[in-house]
Structure 1
């Protein structure tokens, strides 16, 4: 795979801009116990759109993804996926709606083989034939996994584990991918491959991605829009190109 090219919001045509949002978040407040982390967060993600969530450590990025996927209870606000209230949906039903969450740390079952890990992603699917096709497609996307399908998770490199976690999520054919720090601990070459794959999937399948990524330059290179969090609040939302060009904002919140 080649390195990702610059992605600009203005490359999108007017019909795309008018698409109904797939994910709508309004006034979201959430945290752990009595300690609020997110404050009045608002965002939207449309089909085929990559939105990067940026900010310093402790800004609330991971908490945002965990709240959207139901792992953290929202204390207030609205979360809607394709018009359905996610606050009323059980965590185990999220994947059936078309939402896949790949958490930081990758979440691979290290005792299972690559093939067994991938098949876990399709256990809930009733269309067994399509689940089998999806498995084959993931092996096509990640040839390294195909070569190691009988290897246990603990035998994989960090890059292979990230590919495995992403591949397992894709088995369910999600419409929205919540992806947390995919480049953490990986070599730049592997990071570039994974981010380029996200861009390709978006173009080919219309997959929407909400991406939390520590490598700000790489995230903005493939994103259409960026949202900057600081202390749990959205301080700005703009096109990826405009965020890259705003030197004052980059220095204040993004560290470059």
Structure 2
């Protein structure tokens, strides 16, 4: 079995006639957190949309555990273990917390394990227990982030695609979210591809860092090395 869960080669994707990604190559090691960082407009969100099937690539390969996924419908990607938490968190405001979470496991055939997964999410996110009958639009930003992550985890994904989890959140909540990702990696072997504008926070939790600029990967290195590379940070990351 390869150490890499996800391999992307020559990925080209965009909107209409305009390409945003120009031949992106990257690998994500099994049981790791890989942070994709870069300035606004670098193509980070487009990359996650292409990987999750919500945007059809024009060219390239997306290989998960040896299977080429390019062109696979979203619902099949979910069944293969790919979960996408988009920017803005995607909570359904008209549904209760409990209903939102149960949506994450509707496709699963093992109903007993789906119930266990739901219980585990409530243990991870204790504030949601008190709010389980509240509707999504009644939650705070931090609670909505918990709910979006929880809904993804109910499906027991192998690969979690997480887009800007710190957006609009207080620093304390951001730190809690990053600590949770590290804990999930260590305790369950979850593989995470994290897109994050808060570069310091992302690199503090990641194993590997991928720097994107203008739709291309311009540098890949261990996250700790990226944090310490002054020239690279000044050139691409703005600090």
- Coarse TM-score class (shorter-chain normalised): over 0.9
Alpha-carbon distance in structure 2 between the residues aligned to 1:199 and 1:19? 22
Normalization by structure 2: what TM-score?
0.98
Q: Secondary structure at the match of 1:139?
A: helix
Any conservation in 1 of the 2:208–2:223 contact (CA below 8 Å)?
yes
Contact kept, 8 Å, 2:7 with 2:64, in 1: the verdict is yes
Shift of 1:92: 1.2
> Counterparts of 2:214 and 2:93 in 1: how far apart (Å)?
34
Give the aligned partner of residue 3 of structure 1: none
How far does residue 105 in structure 1 lie from its aligned partner after superposition? 0.5
1:32 aligns with 2:25: no
CA positional deviation for 1:20: 2.6
TM-score normalised to the size of structure 1? 0.92
Residue equivalent to 1:145: 128
Q: Corresponding residue for 2:159?
A: 176
Residue aligning to 1:232: 215
What is the rounded CA distance, in whole Å, between the counterparts of 1:180 and 1:101 in structure 2?
8
SS of residue in 1 equivalent to 2:156: coil
- Taking the TM superposition and a 5 Å limit, the aligned residue runs for 1:231-250 are 231-250=214-233
Ranges of 4+ aligned residues in structure 1 off by more than 2 Å: none
Partner of 1:165: 148
**8 A contact 2:2–2:65 mirrored in 1:** no
Structure 2 unmatched ranges of 5 or more: none
1:201 aligns with 2:184: yes
Task: State the number of aligned residues.
Answer: 239
Q: How much is the aligned-residue C-alpha RMSD, in angstroms?
A: 0.9
Partner SS, residue 101 of structure 1: strand
C-alpha distance in 2, partners of 1:157/1:58?
A: 28
Structure 1 unaligned blocks of 5 or more: 1-17
Cα separation, 2, equivalents of 1:143 and 1:255? 36
2:89 counterpart SS class: coil
Provide the rounded CA distance (Å) in 1 between the counterparts of 2:202 and 2:71.
31
C-alpha displacement of 1:19: 4.5
Moved more, 58-67 or 72-81: 72-81
Structure 2 residue matching 1:74: 3-state secondary structure: coil
